[in-house]
């Protein structure tokens, strides 16, 4: 099989690795960081095998594994940029960081473009909640998740934001607030930007909820029963993903 002039053997395994933004340039040989070299050793990769490289910022490259000074590198044969997807910001009550990390991975698989932890009254006393110092590790988890899906873009994980900032985000016509008393999610036009807010464990307090409603957020029910914060966020992401057109990798 041939893709863009590069020959790929049918059924051959293609390893996926991550690279720094701007590093994927056709005709160059790219050294890999320790984590990616370890990944290839664990996968028992060998020199000459095919590689797909992603930077999470739209560039997808294809090439072969080579050895440089005894370490793995990639000889990049082809690189292209896929269009950025429409904005889909998911703002989620900054609860337990392990569960939020799992959400960062799933958000990458479902096409979320921004994942923002929400600082709310009921997250202030959560000892394991998200802090600014956790953002880098969360971003790495989101990037790692695109290796399996092959997505050209990974979500940008932001620092925690407060309720007033979150309520100011997005187009007023396309703002959803996850709410068990709301209506089922409406149908979306294919490429509209969307902001979805999910409260923390225990929900938003009434004053916080009113801020979002006053800002024009549409109350959307995601399930028959109450959901944990990461489940509600995942349900919202799945609903939106099912309405987005299939993304090209070419």
Higher-pLDDT residue of 8 and 183 is 183
pLDDT of residue 12: 54
CB 155 within 8 A of CB 114: yes
Instruction: Tell me the per-residue pLDDT of 133-177, one tens digit each, with 9 for 90 and over.
Output: 889 999 999 999 998 888 999 999 999 999 999 999 999 999 999
Strand, helix or coil for residue 235: helix
Class at the top of the CATH hierarchy for domain 2-81: mainly beta
pLDDT of residue 226: 84
What is the bridge-based pairing of β-strands 194-198 and 175-183?
Answer: parallel
pLDDT of residue 135: 92
Dist. CA 73–CA 67, nearest whole Å: 6
Helices first, then strands: H and E counts in the chain:
6, 14
pLDDT of residue 60: 96
In terms of average pLDDT, the best of 82-86, 120-124, 146-150 is: 82-86
pLDDT of residue 5: 34
Task: Give the count of alpha carbons within 13 A of 150, CB side only.
Answer: 11
First-to-last CA distance in the chain? 15
Angle of the 229-243 helix axis to the 97-109 helix axis, nearest 10: 10
DSSP letter (8 states) at residue 129: -
Q: What residues does each domain of the chain span? A: 2-81, 88-243
Strand, helix or coil for residue 34: helix
Beta carbons within 10 angstroms of residue 243's beta carbon: 14
CB 30 within 8 A of CB 76: yes
Q: Which tokens hold the place of 24?
A: 């994927």
Q: Which of 59-73, 112-126, 186-200 has the lowest mean pLDDT?
A: 112-126
pTM of the model: 0.86
Architecture of domain 88-243: 3-Layer(aba) Sandwich (3.40)
For 171-234, list the strands marked E by DSSP.
Answer: 175-183, 194-198, 218-220
Percent of the chain with pLDDT over 70: 91
pLDDT of residue 79: 97
The answer on pLDDT for 2 being more than 50 is no
Per CATH, 2-81 and 88-243 having the same topology is answered no
Dist. CA 70–CA 31, nearest whole Å: 11
Q: What is the mean pLDDT of residues 177-206?
A: 93
Match 């050209």 to its residue by tokens.
152
Higher-pLDDT residue of 39 and 155 is 155
The answer on pLDDT for 115 being more than 90 is yes
Percent of the chain with pLDDT over 90: 72
Q: What is the mean pLDDT of residues 108-137?
A: 86
The answer on pLDDT for 88 being more than 90 is yes
What rounded mean pLDDT belongs to the chain? 89
Instruction: Tell me the per-residue pLDDT of 4-16, one tens digit each, with 9 for 90 and over.
Output: 333 344 445 789 9
The answer on pLDDT for 248 being more than 70 is no
């Amino acid at each position: 099989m041939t893709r863009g002039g590069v020959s790929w053997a049918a059924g051959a395994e293609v390893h996926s690795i991550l690279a720094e933004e701007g590093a994927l340039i056709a005709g160059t040989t790219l050294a890999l960081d320790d984590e990616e070299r370890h990944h290839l050793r664990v996968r028992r990769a060998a020199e000459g095998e095919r590689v797909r490289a992603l930077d999470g910022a739209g560039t997808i490259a294809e090439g072969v594994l080579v050895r440089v000074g005894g370490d793995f590198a990639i000889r990049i044969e082809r690189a292209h940029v896929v269009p950025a997807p429409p904005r889909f910001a998911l703002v989620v009550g900054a609860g337990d960081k392990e569960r939020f990390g799992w959400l960062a991975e799933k958000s990458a698989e479902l096409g979320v473009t921004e994942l923002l932890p929400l600082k709310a009254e009921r997250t202030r006393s959560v000892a394991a909640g998200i802090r600014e110092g956790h953002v880098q590790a969360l971003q790495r988890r989101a990037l790692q998740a695109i290796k399996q899906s092959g997505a050209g873009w990974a979500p940008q994980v932001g620092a925690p934001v407060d309720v007033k900032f979150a309520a100011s985000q997005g187009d007023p016509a396309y703002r959803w607030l996850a709410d068990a008393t709301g209506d089922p999610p409406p149908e979306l036009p294919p490429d509209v930007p969307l902001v979805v807010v999910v409260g923390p464990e225990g929900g938003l307090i009434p004053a916080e909820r009113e801020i979002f409603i006053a800002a024009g957020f549409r109350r959307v029910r995601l399930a028959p029963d109450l959901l944990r914060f990461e489940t509600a966020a995942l349900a919202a992401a799945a609903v939106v993903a099912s309405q987005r057109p299939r993304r090209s990798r070419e």
